[in-house]
Structures are given as structure tokens and as C-alpha cells.
Amino acid sequence: MHESAPNYPAPRRAAQQGAGLPRLLPATPEDLRAHLARYGPLPYREMPGLLIDDVETAGLTGRGGAAFPVYRKLAAVARARGNRKVIVANGAESEPASRKDELLLRLAPNLVLDGLQLAAEAAGVTEAHLYLHAAGPEILRALAERAARRLDRIDVSITQAPPRFLAGQETALINRIGGGPALPTFQPPRVTERGLGGAPTLVQNVETLAHLALIARYGPRWFRAAGTGSEPGSMLLTVYQPHSKPLVTEAEIGAPLASMLPAGQTGPGPEVQAWLVGGYHGSWLPLPDAAGLRLSNESLRPFGAAAGAGVLVALPAGRCGLAETARVVRYLAAESAGQCGPCLNGLPRIATALAELAGPKPRRQVREDAERWAGLVTGRGACHHPDGTVRFVRSALTVFGPEIARHAQGRCSAANREPFLPLPASLPTREEDWI
Amino acid sequence: MTGATVFWYASRATGIVALLLLTAVLVLGMVVNRQGRLPGLPRFAVTDLHRNLSLLSVAFIAVHVLTAVLDTYVSIPLAAGVVPFASGYERLWLGLGAISFDLMLAMIVTSLVRGRLNRILWRAIHLLAYLTWPVAFVHSIGASKDLQQGWLLGLTVGCGIVVVAAVAWRLAGVARQVPRAARVAHMFARHDATSGQAAPRRTRQGASR
């Protein structure tokens, strides 16, 4: 049905092996000249709506964590009424463990900006924003170079995101760009109907836009050459593993989790005791299960897990998973916007219970309390912060069950008590922290 | 009571009941705001009670106005029920009654379409309750000779005392309110203090921040 789409050129790439990964990340930052030499000019369609079919055929989903079909948001904004429509490229990855958007914006800023312009054209958008924790020299240079060559049809304005966990949440982002604090609000109405200043608003993660820019150039068939039938394409990952620095890499969706470990370590060896998939709103997976799993929501769903924004942590043996979880949950609870009762009252309580479980000789009923409170906060916030936190907590209680038993006897399997999961230093205490 | 006076008595009776209902609605509104509870009722029932009593009091006031208009002893135009100072009889006191009724209608209409309204706008209009009740109270005392003596005077003074006490309780709540950004820290302080086990220990590096 989409065969009438333009004849797509083959990607101009020296080493095209298999699905041709990496698709998004060059080795070093690419300026506009190098970018255009590699990808050619922006394939504007000269008409709103045209690209949407290709994006649907490609099966691109949002790479910010929710994996929502991109064409549906594009179509919703395209058909919404109003003279003013807005697009926001969301580069404020607020997950402390995620580094992929930051790296993408540094290495391939022009690919993201291409995607922003093409998505804006497809959805008939009149106003474009870029939402970032920090605007690095690469993205500023890219914007300046594009302005000099008049590549962009819509001006892009940059808004800085506060360093909060929830700052990148869709409604929080809209409140921030609108001039207020970055606090989530209840939906509906969906932001595609009433977003920034009441205008229909398309919010897309920067990686999603980069994929979209490639689909516009090489077509949906090329995009589907990687990934699985139900979840095509590739995704950026931030991988944490024993004995090395965190690594941002691009992987085909559906690749075995075990293959994400660095070369030389083909499977989860004795070094690794558990995997954390999907970041701090994600799930711990016990080793026997994780060893055979693949990086796709289809494969992870039976275990209550999802690929999310692509954070993958291999927790080394000799660390206490409970202590790691307790530290992160305390952080998550402190990052509650303090707006919804279940989140405000529940998360600190759950965090305190986990802290007790992480210590020696926790009282017998503490685990039960934590599980009961977890059930009470689920689905009861304006955003998914309580739900995501509870998913993380529940998976920890299951996967580290044997460790809880050990703690009950006053023992702990951890030899190394240095924190492994990364956390930011500052927590919000004042109203200004959210701006 | 004869056929000629039935409207007059009905109007006075519904007026007195409406004053009691409005007092209850105002106090319940403050309980809802402070997330308080009534004995034997869950919180959502307090909200429902507040809403239903407010609708009931409007019904009583409608009867109160209609019967006053229908009574032929004094001539009050129907419009005086909603248009302030449109009545020749007791112009000031009835005018205050009309103002209070209009304010109530504004609060009820905005509450019925609350889902379509900006929360701040709804709240601003709802704060008019603190103007509505005193105006209705002054209307009651001024317009009715009944309330100025005997046990009805006691009832009226009682309503006044209840409302003043409730407002004081409400203001105490405002003074105790924790700013939004500090709420989570406040919660942690409470839990850490009550859970004896939760003092920082060596397995929780960084957690005591």
C-alpha cells in the first residue's frame, strides 16, 4: 500500500553489514558538512501528512521509554484543529542512568534536527522547541550552521530542563516550556489535543526523531531490516557492567540480552548476579531468566519488564541488590513532585521499608508492608512515577528474595559496599528546584 | 395559620432551614479542604455530603424566594430574588439576600462544569463562599424580626459561632501547610523518625542524604 512512496536511495555507508548498525551514532561529532555528505539533503515532502504513512509502515515507536507508535501521535496532531501547532524534541533524559540522548545530541545533532523539521512538516506544525538539560556546543553549532544555510523551515527555540527525574515527563515538559515549574499534570486531554498554551503538541524523544529522519531518507523497508517483525528497528542503550565505564551502544531490537555485554564475555558469567532492564522505572531480572531473554518488549513482557529508554545494568556479584535498590528508591521517592497523595505518602514509606530490608535484621512484617503499600499507590498518580517505582520495587523484592532471608539472619552477601547504580547529587527541596 | 399567611410562614421557615444548611455546607467545605473526616464516614462521603447539602440548600432558597414573592401581604417582584435591590420592601436586606443567592449560583454552576474549567478559576470562584455566607447571614438577621429574639436568636448566634470557629481551624491549617517542594522531605522526616530501624547504617551509603 505504500509502494508509491518515493524511491528510496540505498544508504551511503562504507561498511554495510547486516542491518547496518550503528545507524545513529558516528564515531565523532559530525558537523553539518559531514552530515550532509553522509546523508544528503533533507527530504522534505512539501506537503503535510505524506511522511506519516511511511512512519506507520516502518513501525517506529517512541524511544523515550513508552514505545508508543509514532505515527499515531503524528496523525493526531496533523488532524487536530488549530492554527498553532507545536513540536517538542525531548532531549531531557531524566533517568540518572541513561546517557544515550546526551551522546546522540553530541555526536549527531543534525540528525535529530532533521527529524524535528521532517516531523514538523508531516504534522503541519508551526512552532518547534528543543527541551534539554544542557545545550552543548555541538547542538548550538548545528543550529547556527543550519540557520546560515536556511535548511530549517521552522525556527527552533531551546528550553532548559531542571535536573529532576520527572522533568522529561510529557506534561511536565509542557508546563516548563510554558514558563512554569516542570510538574506533571493529569491527562486527558492528551497533549496532542491540548498541549503548550492549549495548542496541539507533538512531543518526541530526540532518538525517535533521529530514526524518523532516516526513515524519511531510506524508507520503511530499510528501517525494518533491523529488529523484529513486531518491533522493528534499532535502539540506543546505556549499558552498565562490572569493571568498566557505562557504555552507550546501538542494538537491534530482539538481540539477546547476553550479547550486550562487552566482547569476551559472551554470556552472563559468574561476574553478574542480576540484570536491571529499563532503568529505575524498570525491572530487576534474575539470572536464569535474563540469560535467555532478548531486548524486545515481546520477550520481556512475560517477566513484567520492558526495554523502556534502553538502560541495561548488569549488577556484579558481591554487591547487595537490596542496598542498591533502597538507595535508588529513596532517590525516586524524593523526586516525587509531591502533588498526588498516594505518591507523596506512599513512596517515602516504601523507601523507608526498603532501607530497613537493606539493613541487618529487618523486622518480619517489613517486606509485607512494602508489598501492601506498593499495591496501594499503583495507578493513582497524575503521571506514572508511582507505577514505575513500584514495578522496580516489586521486582527487587522477588529477585533479591534470598538476600532478604540472609539479611533476616543478620548476614549480607555483599563484599563491596560501594554504590553501583548512579544517582545525581542534589535532591529538590525548594520550589525553584523544579524550574 | 390561614390561607393568606401560609406563604409567609413557609418563606420564613425555609429561610431558617436554608441558613442552617448553608452553615453546614460552609463548614463541610472547610473539612473537605483540610482533608478532614467525620466520624463513621470515609473522606469521599464528606465531599459528597458537602455537594448534596449545597444543592439542597439552593432548593430551600428557591422555595424561600418563591413563597416570599407569592405572599400578597407585601409586594416583592420575582426579579428581586436574583436582582439586588429590586424590591421596594426591605430594599437593603432583600438586596443582600439576592447577592448571596447569585454568588451561590455562580459557585454551583462552576462546580457542575468543573471538569471543563481551569482549576484556578474554579477555586477563585469557590472562595466566594467566604463572602456568600456572611451576606446571607446579615440578610437573615436584618430581614427577619423572628431571628432577633428568643430561641431563634440563639440558633443564629450559634451558627455564627460555629462558622467563626471553623474559619479559625481552616486558617490554622493554612499556617501549618508544608510548601509543595518541601512535602517529600517532610514525609521522610516523619517516617525516619517513627521507624526506629531506619537510622542511617553502613549498608545504606548515600541513603541518609
- Sorted by sequence, the CB contacts under 8 Å of residue B148 that are 6+ apart come out as B141
Q: What is the pLDDT of residue B190?
A: 84
pLDDT digits 0-9 by tens, B165-191 = 999 999 998 888 888 888 888 888 888
The percent of residues above 70 in pLDDT, for chain B, comes to 90
Report, in this order, helix, strand and coil percent for chain A, each rounded to 5: 40, 15, 45
The dihedral through the CA atoms of A258, A259, A260, A264 has a sign that is positive
Query: Out of B1-5, B75-79, B84-88, which region has the weakest mean confidence (pLDDT)?
Result: B1-5
Residue B118 phi, psi (nearest 5): -65, 135
Mean pLDDT of all residues in chain A?
90
Check CB contact under 8 Å for A356 and B202. no
Q: How many CB pairs under 8 A join A and B?
A: 87
| Residue labelled with grid coordinates 462521603 | B45
User: How many CB atoms are located within 10 Å of the residue A50 CB?
Assistant: 15
On whether any CB of chain A is under 8 Å from the CB of B192, the answer is yes
pLDDT digits 0-9 by tens, A79-136 = 999 999 999 999 999 899 999 999 999 999 999 999 999 999 999 999 999 999 999 9
Integer Cα distance of B120 and A347 in angstroms = 28
Q: In degrees to the nearest 10, what's the CA dihedral of A51, A57, A58, A64?
A: 80
Enter the DSSP assignment of A434.
Answer: G
Check CB contact under 8 Å for A345 and B202. no
Is A6's pLDDT higher than 80?
no
**Closest Cα to residue A30, out of A144, A143, A148, A138?**
A138
- Sorted by sequence, the CB contacts under 8 Å of residue B34 that are 6+ apart come out as B169, B170, B173
Grid coordinates representing A205 are: 524523544
Buried residues in A354-387 as b, exposed as e (16+ CB within 10 A): bbbbbbbebeeebbebbbebbeebbeebbbbbbb
The percent of residues above 70 in pLDDT, for chain A, comes to 94
Grid coordinates representing A294 are: 532478548
* Residue A250 to chain B, least CA–CA distance (Å): 32
Q: What is the pLDDT of residue A384?
A: 92
| Residue labelled with grid coordinates 417582584 | B77
Sheet holding A127-132, edge to edge: A156-160, A127-132, A86-90, A201-205
Determine which of B187, B190, B194 to mutate to test the interface with A (most A C-beta atoms within 10 Å): B187
Contact assessment for residue A223 and residue A233, using Cβ atoms and an 8 Å cutoff = yes
**Closest Cα to residue A122, out of A83, A80, A71, A156?**
A71
Greater pLDDT, A172 or B184: A172
Helices (H) and strands (E) counted in chain A, each on its own, are 15, 9
Is A18's pLDDT higher than 50?
no
Grid coordinates representing A313 are: 545494568
Check CB contact under 8 Å for B184 and A355. no
> What pLDDT band is residue B1 in, cutting at 50, 70 and 90?
low
Check CB contact under 8 Å for A338 and B207. no
Q: What is the pLDDT of residue B3?
A: 67
Termini Cα distance of chain A? 47
Run of H or E including A25: none
Q: What is the pLDDT of residue A16?
A: 41
| Residue labelled with grid coordinates 517486606 | A367
Contact assessment for residue A129 and residue A176, using Cβ atoms and an 8 Å cutoff = no
Greater pLDDT, A1 or B100: B100
Check CB contact under 8 Å for A345 and B201. no
Q: What is the pLDDT of residue B2?
A: 66
**Closest Cα to residue A84, out of A224, A168, A196?**
A196
| Residue labelled with grid coordinates 545494568 | A313
Grid coordinates representing A35 are: 552530515
Q: Decide: residue A353, CB within 10 A, 0-12 exposed, 13-18 middle, 19+ buried.
A: buried
Q: What is the pLDDT of residue B74?
A: 83
Integer Cα distance of B93 and B91 in angstroms = 6
User: Considering the entire predicted model, what is its pTM?
Assistant: 0.80
Run of H or E including A81: none
Integer Cα distance of A65 and A266 in angstroms = 27
Integer Cα distance of A356 and A48 in angstroms = 56
> What pLDDT band is residue A20 in, cutting at 50, 70 and 90?
confident
Q: Decide: residue A136, CB within 10 A, 0-12 exposed, 13-18 middle, 19+ buried.
A: middle
Question: What's the whole-number mean pLDDT along residues B28-44?
Answer: 90
Query: Can you say whether residue A40 is alpha, beta or left, with left for phi > 0 and alpha for psi between -120 and 50 degrees?
Result: left
Integer Cα distance of A384 and A377 in angstroms = 10
In chain A, residues with a C-beta closer than 8 Å to the C-beta of B32 are: none
DSSP, collapsed to helix, strand or coil, labels residue B203 as helix
Q: What is the pLDDT of residue B208?
A: 35
| Residue labelled with grid coordinates 521517592 | A333
Please name the residues between 47 and 86 in chain B that touch chain A, using a CB distance below 8 Å.
Answer: none
The percent of residues above 90 in pLDDT, for chain A, comes to 76
Q: What is the pLDDT of residue A286?
A: 86
Is A4's pLDDT higher than 70?
no
DSSP, collapsed to helix, strand or coil, labels residue B48 as helix
The dihedral through the CA atoms of A404, A409, A411, A417 has a sign that is positive
Residue A387 phi, psi (nearest 5): -60, -45
Q: What is the pLDDT of residue A187?
A: 82
Please name the residues between 332 and 391 in chain A that touch chain B, using a CB distance below 8 Å.
Answer: 333-339, 344-345, 347-349, 351-353, 355-356, 358-360, 362-363, 366
Q: What is the pLDDT of residue A242?
A: 84
Question: What's the whole-number mean pLDDT along residues A63-83?
Answer: 94
CA angle in degrees (0–180, nearest 5) for B24-B26-B30 = 110
Integer Cα distance of A304 and A385 in angstroms = 16
Enter the DSSP assignment of A232.
Answer: B
Q: What is the pLDDT of residue B205?
A: 38
pLDDT digits 0-9 by tens, A292-333 = 899 999 999 998 899 999 999 999 888 999 999 999 999 999
- Reported ipTM: the value is 0.74
**Closest Cα to residue B205, out of A327, A299, A120, A126?**
A327
Query: Out of A171-175, A249-253, B201-205, which region has the weakest mean confidence (pLDDT)?
Result: B201-205
Angle at which helix A50-58 crosses helix A206-224, to 10 degrees, equals 70
Helices (H) and strands (E) counted in chain B, each on its own, are 7, 0
Is A37's pLDDT higher than 80?
yes
In chain A, residues with a C-beta closer than 8 Å to the C-beta of B188 are: 333-334, 348, 351-352
Integer Cα distance of B193 and B187 in angstroms = 10
The percent of residues above 90 in pLDDT, for chain B, comes to 57
Mean pLDDT of all residues in chain B?
88
pLDDT digits 0-9 by tens, B62-85 = 999 999 999 888 888 999 889 999
Q: What is the pLDDT of residue A1?
A: 40
Integer Cα distance of B104 and B128 in angstroms = 8
Grid coordinates representing A254 are: 530482539
Is A5's pLDDT higher than 50?
no
Q: What is the pLDDT of residue A19?
A: 55
Question: What's the whole-number mean pLDDT along residues A346-371?
Answer: 94
Grid coordinates representing A40 are: 544528503
Question: What's the whole-number mean pLDDT along residues B38-58?
Answer: 93
> What pLDDT band is residue B124 in, cutting at 50, 70 and 90?
very high
Check CB contact under 8 Å for B183 and A338. yes
Integer Cα distance of A103 and A91 in angstroms = 10
Q: What is the pLDDT of residue A361?
A: 92
> What pLDDT band is residue A159 in, cutting at 50, 70 and 90?
very high
Question: What's the whole-number mean pLDDT along residues B25-36?
Answer: 93
Check CB contact under 8 Å for B203 and A433. no
Query: Can you say whether residue A198 is alpha, beta or left, with left for phi > 0 and alpha for psi between -120 and 50 degrees?
Result: left
Check CB contact under 8 Å for A356 and B197. yes
